[in-house]
């Protein structure tokens, strides 16, 4: 890793297959960062355990997500790419940071409020503590920049707060990370409820499009996408969230500005437009599907990459953890 380059950390939970939301909003821009930054790209598997997962399914998804990273263009030679659970320092630092965190700040997190509503009366403690683990992920690597979608800004703010709080209490230890908002990062909404974001763990598979969905499935999902009844293809997030979302997806896939898409489809019906959006998504994701199938045939290669990734990550993470132990007054060790 170069000392001159800035460090980036980011990750995705294996809570489902990567959606076009994760891809257009995050993964695609990570690919463009790998030459200019020291990048740590983590499969944040421990985060996915904040809700109950089927173990066999979880194991499969973890490996697939790692392969999806590679299929989306992330290079395990250029970046440190690993599973969070393979570097125990993440869990350890998470505990140490939990000890300087407050109930009030955790329970105010929007994602906690939303996800705990869905969980009903038995809200798991993991959902509450999730942002502390995220802070540990980031702070272990002296991260300068964290590429985040708008949905994760509040959690990153907490990472900054905890870093500054620790530094004030125990002397300068952590770099305080900054958000990195990718220039072309889109926020993609659900196809069945365009007022909420597209999520890979949504119960209804028609709500999201996975990058591994086959072309016929993609076309069907767009054909069924919720729009409205006035049949005008114009961008109006307030009054036409469904059509607006489709315009954003089309623009993110083709690079065409929204206004020229509106012009091109003026007078045309939603049927034609949805077909065009589906085709643009099929075209964008087809090379990823092809690469994914090839990579998945070589499990030994995937294992080699993630093992080496964890070894590299551990070197940096363990140094940071040892420093934190020392500052907090734990007995000296040379582990
Ligand atoms: N719909 C979206 N549009 C744009 N960006 C998105 N991201 C997620 N959904 C969208 C970005 O993807 C990265 C990884 O997200 P994550 O898997 O760690 O967690 P998440 O944000 O909770 O993603 P999901 O798909 O919604 O997962 P579940 O269903 O498990 O909650 C982040 O950079 C995020 O901004």
Domain ranges within the chain, ordered by starting residue = 7-186+298-328, 205-293
- Name the residue at shortest CA distance from atom 35 of ligand 1: 149
Helix (H, G, I), strand (E, B) or coil at 72: coil
Q: Is the CB of 19 under 6 A from ligand 1?
A: yes
| Ligand 1 centroid to residue 193 C-alpha, Å | 16
Q: Is the CB of 22 under 6 A from ligand 1?
A: yes
Q: What mean pLDDT, rounded, does the chain reach?
A: 94
Question: pTM score, two decimals?
Answer: 0.94
What pLDDT is recorded for position 255? Answer: 93
Q: Is the CB of 15 under 6 A from ligand 1?
A: yes
| Ligand 1 centroid to residue 52 C-alpha, Å | 18
- 210 strand-pairing partners: 19
- Name the residue at shortest CA distance from atom 10 of ligand 1: 21
- pLDDT tens across 111-164, in order? 888 888 877 778 889 999 999 999 999 999 999 999 877 667 888 999 999 999
Question: What does the pLDDT average to over 307-315?
Answer: 98
Q: What is the C-alpha separation between 18 and 210, in angstroms, rounded?
A: 6
Q: What is the C-alpha separation between 190 and 192, in angstroms, rounded?
A: 5
Mutate to test the pocket of ligand 1, among 9, 10, 12 (most ligand atoms within 8 A of CB): 12
- pLDDT tens across 68-121, in order? 999 999 999 999 999 999 999 999 999 999 999 999 999 888 888 888 887 777
What pLDDT is recorded for position 146? Answer: 94
Contact status, residue 46 vs residue 133, Cβ threshold 8 Å: yes
Q: Is the CB of 187 under 6 A from ligand 1?
A: yes
What pLDDT is recorded for position 270? Answer: 95
Mutate to test the pocket of ligand 1, among 21, 241, 251 (most ligand atoms within 8 A of CB): 21
Beta strands in the chain (DSSP E): 7-12, 38-43, 80-83, 145-147, 178-180
Q: What is the C-alpha separation between 152 and 25, in angstroms, rounded?
A: 12
Closest-CA residue to 144 (of 163, 165, 171): 163
The yes-or-no answer on residue 118 being catalytic is no
What pLDDT is recorded for position 232? Answer: 93
Q: Is the CB of 152 under 6 A from ligand 1?
A: yes
Q: Is the dihedral of CA 124, 127, 130, 132 positive or negative?
A: negative
Contact status, residue 132 vs residue 100, Cβ threshold 8 Å: no
Q: Is the CB of 188 under 6 A from ligand 1?
A: yes
| CATH fold group of domain 205-293 | Tyrosyl-Transfer RNA Synthetase (1.10.240)
Q: Is the dihedral of CA 276, 282, 285, 286 positive or negative?
A: negative
pLDDT confidence of 335, banded at 50, 70, 90?
low
DSSP 39-56: EEEEE-HHHHTTS---HH
pLDDT confidence of 332, banded at 50, 70, 90?
confident
What pLDDT is recorded for position 150? Answer: 67
Percent of the chain with pLDDT over 70: 98
* Lowest pLDDT segment from 90-94, 135-139, 182-186, 267-271: 182-186
CATH code for 7-186+298-328? Answer: 3.40.50.620
What pLDDT is recorded for position 293? Answer: 98
* Lowest pLDDT segment from 73-77, 142-146, 230-234, 309-313: 230-234
Domain 7-186+298-328 and domain 205-293, same fold? Reply is no
Closest-CA residue to 289 (of 224, 210, 234): 210
pLDDT confidence of 333, banded at 50, 70, 90?
confident
Q: Is the CB of 21 under 6 A from ligand 1?
A: yes
Q: What is the C-alpha separation between 274 and 290, in angstroms, rounded?
A: 24
pLDDT > 70? residue 2 = no
The yes-or-no answer on residue 200 being catalytic is yes
Question: What does the pLDDT average to over 228-245?
Answer: 94
């Amino acid at each position: 890793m170069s000392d001159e380059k800035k460090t980036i950390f980011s990750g995705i939970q294996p809570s489902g297959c990567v959606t076009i939301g994760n891809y257009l909003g995050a993964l695609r821009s990570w690919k463009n960062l790998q030459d200019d930054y020291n990048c740590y790209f983590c499969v944040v598997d421990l985060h996915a355990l904040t809700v109950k997962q089927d173990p066999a399914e979880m194991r499969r998804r973890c490996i697939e997500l790692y392969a999806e990273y590679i299929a989306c263009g992330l290079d395990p030679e250029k970046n440190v790419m690993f599973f969070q659970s393979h570097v125990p320092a993440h869990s350890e630092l998470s505990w140490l940071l939990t000890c300087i965190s407050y109930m009030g700040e955790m329970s105010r997190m929007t994602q906690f409020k939303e996800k705990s509503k869905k969980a009903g009366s038995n809200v798991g403690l993991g959902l509450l503590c999730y942002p502390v683990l995220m802070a540990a992920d980031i702070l272990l690597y002296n991260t300068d920049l964290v590429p985040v979608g708008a949905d994760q800004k509040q959690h990153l703010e907490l990472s900054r707060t905890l870093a500054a709080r620790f530094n004030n209490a125990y002397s300068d230890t952590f770099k305080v990370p900054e958000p990195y908002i990718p220039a072309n990062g889109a926020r993609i909404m659900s196809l069945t409820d365009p007022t909420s974001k597209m999520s890979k763990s949504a119960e209804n598979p028609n709500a999201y499009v996975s990058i591994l969905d086959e072309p016929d499935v993609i076309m069907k999902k767009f054909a069924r996408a919720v729009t409205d009844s006035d049949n005008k293809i114009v961008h109006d997030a307030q009054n036409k969230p469904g059509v607006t979302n489709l315009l954003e997806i089309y623009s993110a896939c083709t690079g065409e500005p929204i206004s020229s898409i509106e012009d091109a489809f003026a007078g045309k019906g939603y049927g034609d437009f949805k077909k065009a959006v589906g085709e643009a998504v099929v075209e964008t994701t087809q090379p990823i599907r092809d690469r994914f199938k090839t990579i998945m045939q070589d499990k030994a290669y995937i294992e080699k990459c993630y093992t080496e990734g964890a070894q590299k990550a551990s070197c940096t993470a363990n140094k940071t953890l040892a420093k934190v132990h020392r500052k907090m007054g734990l007995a000296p060790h040379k582990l």
